[in-house]
Amino acid sequence: MIVNALCRTYVFLHFPKKEEAPPKGDWQGETLFGLGARRTTSALEMAKKFVSAVVEIQKGGKDKLPEILQTEKKKSLRFSLSLLASPLPFEKIAKAFAEAGLTGGDDGDEECENKMLMTGVRFALKNAHPIVIMRAMTAFLGFSVFDAAETWLIQRFGTKGGEWEELIVPGELPDLVADLGGTAGILSQATRLAGPRLTAAALAGCPKETVEAMKGVSSNELGCILMDSEIIDARTSLSSDELADAQDAFCALLESLKESQHKPETLEEEWGKALDKNLVSDLSELIMVLDDKSLHTIVMALEPKLAAALIQTMTSIAHDRLLSSVAQGRGKKILNALEAASPLGTIELTRNAQIFAQKVLSELVPKVKSPGKAFPLPTKLRQLLTAILSRE
């Protein structure tokens, strides 16, 4: 469901206009266009052919294009590949497909393939990695082809990691990654924040062990292939000084994440941890079970400072009920006292809760009692008052 939702979001982001939006349908189906199994397989094979052709063009240059076009029989695929011969502006790709009669048809199957090809052309003209192109194109087919596409990509582009020669650029990243070996979360988070290009540039000057350690915590198999490709590109396109700068930047990011993870607790956080959670629960529940009239009478008789102190020992819903039980002017005085107050210790908070419990008893129990006769408090109320008053 998550992959399907992501695929659908991707499609709608790239075809936001109403006239370009894919036809609506039951998203519980296998593909966004509701293709059957046979047409889904056909569309997947078409994407493989397009991506394979892009790889040949990236390797052999545009001189390979005439040969590829000559052997391709499918009109839409041949037209799509022909657009790679010139730097067509991205905003004109849809227009080119429309002028070629490849959009706006009634055949949903063909419309799906044409949208896939349009997306492939966009990414190919951006010189995206073939893995990215394939994932973008097959987004239209949803989860139904997710695993099959991944298997094909690994077979097509998978290589044994570390086949390229090491290029060592002096820096602190290898030692820092080794020190963080037991905290994979920080390494993974740093990779996501830095992005693939900065991460690859930082790793381009590191030993193989560092590269493999980073890939192991931040990437799946396809991600590792992409990272290898980015590292190779960084080594061929960046100078040693630029690689060193990238490594320094990545180290600074890692250090920042380490500091944020081990940041000392604030006084408020320390106070919150020391707070007696059972006392908070009992006092809050007492506030909630009191009837409106009794609560109003008790709170109106409290000093604003005492009411503010009690608020430090209750949940937000109990806090709201306490303030809503009194007039607005009285509530403002309590809030002002709360703002001026400092966090109290456990002993003071317990003592204030017990004072409140005693006031509740004074309000609920008759001033003149019959000899030998106990006043019948509700069971829950009696339990809460006993729990608060019996604390030491």
pLDDT at position 45: 92
Q: Domain-by-domain residue ranges, the chain?
A: 2-157, 173-261, 271-389
What is the b/e burial string over 3-14, where b = at least 16 CB atoms within 10 angstroms of the residue's CB? ebeebbebbeeb
The alpha carbon of residue 141 and the mean position of all alpha carbons in its chain are separated, in whole angstroms, by 24
Domain 173-261: state its class: mainly alpha
- Report how far residue 355's alpha carbon sits from residue 247's, in angstroms, rounded to the nearest whole number: 61
Q: Which residues contact 262 (CB under 8 A, 6 or more apart)?
A: none
Nearest to 383 by CA among 276, 274, 278, 306: 278
Angle at 309 between CA 276 and CA 319, to 5 degrees: 80
pLDDT at position 249: 92
Classified by CATH at the fold level, domain 271-389 comes out as Annexin V; domain 1 (1.10.220)
pLDDT digits (tens, 9 = 90+) for 320-372: 888 888 888 888 888 888 888 777 888 888 888 899 989 888 888 765 455 55
Q: Are 70 and 90 in contact (CB under 8 A)?
A: no
Q: Are 142 and 112 in contact (CB under 8 A)?
A: no
pTM beyond 0.85: the answer is: no
Secondary structure string (H, E, C) spanning the chain: CHHHHHHHHHHHHHCCCCCCCCCCCCCCCCCCCCCCHHHHHHHHHHHHHHHHHHHHHHHHCHHHHHHHHHHCCCHHHHHHHHHHHCCCCHHHHHHHHHHCCCCCCCCHHHHHHHHHHHHHHHHHHCCCCHHHHHHHHHHHHHHHHHHHHHHHHHHHHCCCCCCCCCCCCCCCHHHHHHHCCCCHHHHHHHHHHHHHHHHHHHHCCCCHHHHHHHHHHHCCHHHHHHHHHHHHHHHHHCCHHHHHHHHHHHHHHHHHHHHHHCCCCCHHHHHHHHCCHHHHHHHHHHHHHCCHHHHHHHHHHCCHHHHHHHHCCCCHHHHHHHHHCCCHHHHHHHHHHHHHCCCCCHHHHHHHHHHHHHHHHHHHCCCCCCCCCCCCCCHHHHHHHHHHHCCC
pLDDT at position 329: 86
Residue ranges of the chain with per-residue pLDDT less than 50:
1-2, 17-29, 160-162, 265, 267-268, 271, 368
Same fold for the pair 173-261 and 271-389: yes
pLDDT digits (tens, 9 = 90+) for 105-123: 666 678 888 889 999 999 9
